[in-house]
Structure 1
Amino acid sequence: MNILITGGSGLIGQALIQHLNADRIIVLTRNPEKTAKLLPDKVELIVSIDEVNFNELDVVVNLAGEAIVDKRWTNVQKDIICQSRWQITQSLVEKIQTALKPPHSFISGSAIGFYGRQGAVEIDESYQDIHDEFSHHICQKWEEIALQAESDDTRVCLIRTGIVLANNGGALQKMLPPFKLGLGGPIASGQQFMSWIHIDDMVAVLLAAIYQTSLSGAINATAPSPVCNQEFSETLSAVLGRPCMFKVPGFVLRILMGESADLILYGQNVLPTKLLNNHFKFQYPSLQIALKQLLVMS
């Protein structure tokens, strides 16, 4: 199997590559010297998709995109966030469309931000009452572009990723410092939902999307047991053996993060219905088990 990956140097991309058993793994990167230090020697690095023959590819995995919460959402930053996803996806779609023997699977990234803020309402892939805001705007167009690659020859999966928990980066690493000091606690009301997934299960979802032809369309990549922020904070504190007593007021987060604080102050209670209906087995279905594995056992 020949696989092209964009975003291969990111948290999810690196983890996926470690578990791929393919004849060729090709990674598109803007910085080959830096990326070469992060990935195994077996990976081929390219700086342009024109360097690869799409007739020879079996699968394209599209994980590229500017980090959403690392910087304040100025108009310029919003455009960078959008275009870093839309442009590469459009380029990949055009290559797939014009190939005489196109890849049989196009696995393209998205996020549960597609649904917008939803409170405690249970949401699965069939949910239609979308809250229109920036996160939805990003994901909706991202998915619309990706779906243009769909044909009798090419299957498209849209991976709506939740909060990925890993011990070497991502959201958990940003949360840990105050909790390790015993200064952690819920944010604002603490009632906003957090739909999370362990990095190993995230990789397993992508592998399922690659190999299971029964999967297509939108797929929620979240654990089957989302929790509210209060419960997340209490569980994280308990696993670390620290108190959970310092609440972070919402206005403080808004001062620090601006509009992007909405991603933390408002959540979604997302369920992986399509995966469960396809008999996907989560290795870490509960938050406590996931955090213990990441922070205590590893």
Structure 2
Amino acid sequence: MKNKLSLFAVPYVGWMSIFVVAPIIIMVVYAFSTAAGDFTLENFARMGTYTAVFTRSFKLAIIATLIALLIGYPVSYMLSKEGPQVQRIAMVLIMLPMWMNFLLRTYSWMSILENNGLLNQLFQQIGLIDLYNQIAMHFASDPAAYVPIDHFQMIGTQGAVVLGMVYNYLPFMILPIYSVLVKLDHSLIEAARDLGASSVQVFRKVILPLSLPGVLSGITMVFVPSVSTFAISRLLGGGTQMMLGDLIEQQFLGGAYNPQLGAAIALVMMAIVVVCMLVMNRFGDGEEQAVML
């Protein structure tokens, strides 16, 4: 029986070897070599010039992950308390945007956020931009020198990049948390209430610790693609909010062709992401043991 199962695993092992292990090995070789193929650590030393890109990438990814968590957890919690029919409809609505192409969704946000986009047209129609000009002119040190604006600058900002991340990756936060909350043993909640715990205490002592595996899974599934994204930062950031994904792509496909440096940056980013995942997993294991005790 074991031999038959091993035979079924051969295609999977071959697939993993070709499309996962081999690219990682090639990346490691490139990261520690020069264009001539000699061993070097210069590629890692040169990454210091891109400290701002690393900082921006992790900052925006953390912000997007926290916003997704603040939105995703209440949504998941409320859905878990609804009936099966409402849950099915809600899951379809949550996953419906994911059926569209990723770039198409991002281009849609461009048409909404651009200077003459839908939002700015709406703000002009309701008089919000005129109201802003009046208030800004009133508080300006020299009202005569104030130049009125005809739109709010939304595209090409860090806020637009974070918005694109949250919109595209929010389902990856909701689904794992919801899948854990919907399977909670309600007898534990009833027992806590019978023992005199308030609603806040029940949530803090029972529901939140038991839902932590879903929370950690959601954080991982949002943070990892956010920190390595390049399409969102390029389109919604307007080319001014370069992130690690853009930097790596630039080294492989851009005018500054340097695959060795690109591989080194990708390797360091992958190592940082793996360390973050290990830390979150250890934290989750500790919380789970505490709940059991």
Measured against the shorter chain, the TM-score band is: under 0.3
TM-score, structure 2 normalization: 0.26
Flag the structure with higher strand content: 1
TM-score, structure 1 normalization: 0.26
Q: Which has the higher contact order (CA 8 A, sep 6+)?
A: 2
Larger Rg: 2
Flag the structure with higher helix content: 2
